Homo-oligomer: A and B are copies of this chain.
Amino acid sequence: MTTFSPRPITDVAAELGLEPDDIELYGKTKAKVGLEVVGRPARHQGRLILVTAINPTPAGEGKTTTSIALAMGMRRLGKRAVLALREPSLGPVFGVKGGGTGGGKASLTPADEINLHFTGDIHAITTAHNLLSALVDNSVYFRDTFDGAGEIDPRTITWGRAMDMNDRFLRNCIVGLGGKSHGKPREERFDITAASEIMAILALARDYSDLEARLARIVVGSSYDGKTITAGHVGAASAMCAVLRDALKPNLVQTLEGGPAFVHAGPFGNIAHGCNSVLATQLAIKLGDYAITEAGFGFDLGGEKFLNIKARLAGVWPRAIVLVATLRALKMHGGAPVKSAGEPNHDALTKGIAHLEKHIENAGAYGLQPIVAINVFPNDTEEELLLVERAASKLGARMARSEGFGRGGEGSLDLARVVTEVVDATDKNPPAPRYIYELEDAPQEKIRKVARTIYGAKDVVFVGSAEKDLKRIRDLGYEKLPVCMAKTQLSLTDDPSVYGRPSDFVISVREVRLSAGAGFLVPLTGDMMTMPGLPKVPAARQVKLLPSGQIKGLMQND
């Protein structure tokens, strides 16, 4: 696939100013960075660049590929650019999605290892999650009363089990069967590990004491007299923190051009906030002149959560927004079917540009300058590219092209130059954080502000258990938490079939979950799939170990 020979990771670390004792090697091309490095005074004050995208379509946008290509291009321009990206989940690797390490020449290495066990972070999260599950059920079995907090009512248990696998048969099950000595029958679910609250916690924790405190706050159910039972009551938090000791340390790898990349934590973008860890982003800022990070799904969903949840918590704010799009995806937003989205279609493109315009306007709502990055395909026409450029320009946004997949950093020099110019121009007067809502706002108000300002909704209605859930959240004193919207990624609305730039729509919140450990409220606006299934012909059938020791078949284009 490539003749690039990876640098020893010690060299990559040295390029960042890290000493051998600052890192722990995992083989020759992976390392973990000790948390003491995060605590040191910064050598640099890197400018943060947030890469996000239009609402995803089946045509694919290539957000991770473009992030990596951008870092490669900037490095070729002589800039110290450091990536902070999410850690791919193993489950989907065996399904259809393929790995999460970029594509083509704009990839991370060692891609096979990052897509499999990597440095074991996700396994550690699965273990911590299921340790808590086992302790909760053990307390049911022994009718523990947690030093007075009361006996847990098994019917109220909200903490499921986790597995890093696409496995639909585990979505709904009954456990504890087989008679008295084997438990007590109750309904249970397994979520994929990326959807575990512990993944979100790991991604947001600042240090070990913050990690342990967050773990202790996880709500697992209620006692028979209605008191909330937490992981702290169950006596699980310290052991879970110990299980996660190494997982909290950010991982360092490199791009296929030898540039540094922190790849750490990968929470789901629907029921969680969908960003790599706060620690990895902070490290990239500390060690680079430019820190390039990515948010999950589209700008309305992952980008919004990055800014209102993660950036607020981490005390960081980007200098610019890179909005990734492809002509195909824009045409799909304009009504073109996926099969013909690669063909010229001015009409569909024009309609699709309206979708892009909403995201460009949204950048303004945050006080940020957007750069539209078109991930160019070989048969994209110059005419259509200019159409997008003119539309962006009308709204004050620059557009740049990236051909990272086929040409790596060399194909992203245009994008790298534009981003560098825009970002450098902010040096004199860096944008101050401008959140869409304040933490003091009532939860309903937070949700309304996001829905109206970012989605373009007319209003929000609270149906199902939403009002009751919010009352309970208020009673527990958690109403000051930010909201982590659980909405389809495919549309600006809560209906996945609505493409383009809809208006006059209403967002329905049916339920509001409390993720007290992660530290956010999760308003659910639709069915959120937290355990994917495998397709009829799973990608796993193509995965194999080559005699060279390399593993093939983990990525779509492998």
**Are B177 and A173 touching (Cβ within 8 A)?**
yes
Interface residues of A in 137-175 (CB under 8 A from B): 137-138, 141-142, 144, 161, 163-175
Contacts of A540 in B (CB 8 A): 131, 135, 235-236, 239
A318 to B168 alpha-carbon distance, docked (Å): 48
Contacts of A242 in B (CB 8 A): 116, 543-545, 551, 553-554
Interface residues of A in 514-545 (CB under 8 A from B): 533-534, 536, 538, 540-541, 543-545
The residue from B130, B173, B176, B183 contacting A175, defined by CB atoms under 8 A apart = B173
**Are B165 and A170 touching (Cβ within 8 A)?**
no
A82 to chain B, nearest CB (A): 23
A539: nearest chain-B partner, CB-CB: B239
A291 to B58 alpha-carbon distance, docked (Å): 57
Once A134-B165, A534-B134 are accepted as A-B contacts, the answer to whether A239 and B127 lie under 8 Å apart by CB is no
Would you give the 0/1 interface string for A225-240, flagging 1 where the beta carbon is closer than 8 Å to chain B? 0000000000110110
Interface centre among A123, A124, A142 (most CB of B within 10 A): A123
Contacts of A167 in B (CB 8 A): 130, 133-134, 137
**Are B134 and A166 touching (Cβ within 8 A)?**
yes
A91 to B240 alpha-carbon distance, docked (Å): 13
Tell me whether A380 is interfacial, beta carbon within 8 Å.
no
Once A94-B134, A124-B117 are accepted as A-B contacts, the answer to whether A171 and B178 lie under 8 Å apart by CB is yes
Tell me whether A241 is interfacial, beta carbon within 8 Å.
yes
Once A173-B188, A177-B174, A182-B171 are accepted as A-B contacts, the answer to whether A165 and B131 lie under 8 Å apart by CB is yes
**Are A172 and B165 touching (Cβ within 8 A)?**
no
**Are B174 and A174 touching (Cβ within 8 A)?**
yes
**Are A239 and B543 touching (Cβ within 8 A)?**
yes
Tell me whether A246 is interfacial, beta carbon within 8 Å.
yes
A250 to chain B, nearest CB (A): 15
Tell me whether A549 is interfacial, beta carbon within 8 Å.
yes
Contacts of A182 in B (CB 8 A): 168-169, 171-172
A171 to B137 alpha-carbon distance, docked (Å): 12
A146 to chain B, nearest CB (A): 11
A119: nearest chain-B partner, CB-CB: B120
**Are B28 and A27 touching (Cβ within 8 A)?**
no
Tell me whether A24 is interfacial, beta carbon within 8 Å.
yes
Interface size on A, as a range, is: 35 or more
Contacts of A135 in B (CB 8 A): 534, 538, 540
Interface residues of A in 1-59 (CB under 8 A from B): 24-28
A491 to B163 alpha-carbon distance, docked (Å): 37
**Are A130 and B171 touching (Cβ within 8 A)?**
no
Tell me whether A219 is interfacial, beta carbon within 8 Å.
no
**Are A137 and B169 touching (Cβ within 8 A)?**
yes
A224 to chain B, nearest CB (A): 19
A130: nearest chain-B partner, CB-CB: B165
Tell me whether A90 is interfacial, beta carbon within 8 Å.
yes
**Are A27 and B27 touching (Cβ within 8 A)?**
no
Interface centre among A90, A137, A172, A544 (most CB of B within 10 A): A172
**Are A173 and B176 touching (Cβ within 8 A)?**
yes
Contacts of A169 in B (CB 8 A): 134, 137, 141, 175-176, 182-184, 186, 188
A551: nearest chain-B partner, CB-CB: B242
Tell me whether A366 is interfacial, beta carbon within 8 Å.
no
Tell me whether A468 is interfacial, beta carbon within 8 Å.
no
Tell me whether A265 is interfacial, beta carbon within 8 Å.
no
**Are B131 and A245 touching (Cβ within 8 A)?**
no
Contacts of A176 in B (CB 8 A): 168-169, 172-173
A138: nearest chain-B partner, CB-CB: B534
Once A130-B163, A138-B534, A544-B238 are accepted as A-B contacts, the answer to whether A245 and B177 lie under 8 Å apart by CB is no
Tell me whether A341 is interfacial, beta carbon within 8 Å.
no
**Are B127 and A164 touching (Cβ within 8 A)?**
yes
A235: nearest chain-B partner, CB-CB: B541
| Given contact pairs A26-B26, A137-B168, A239-B540, a sample of 9 additional A-B residue pairs in the complex whose CB atoms are under 8 Å apart | A25-B28, A94-B134, A116-B243, A138-B534, A141-B169, A169-B183, A212-B545, A238-B544, A238-B545
**Interface CB pairs A-B, < 8 A, 6:** A25-B28, A116-B242, A137-B167, A169-B186, A171-B177, A174-B174
Interface residues of A (CB under 8 A from B): 24-28, 90, 94, 116-117, 120, 123-124, 126-127, 130-131, 133-135, 137-138, 141-142, 144, 161, 163-178, 181-184, 186, 188, 208, 212, 235-236, 238-239, 241-243, 245-246, 533-534, 536, 538, 540-541, 543-545, 549, 551, 553-554
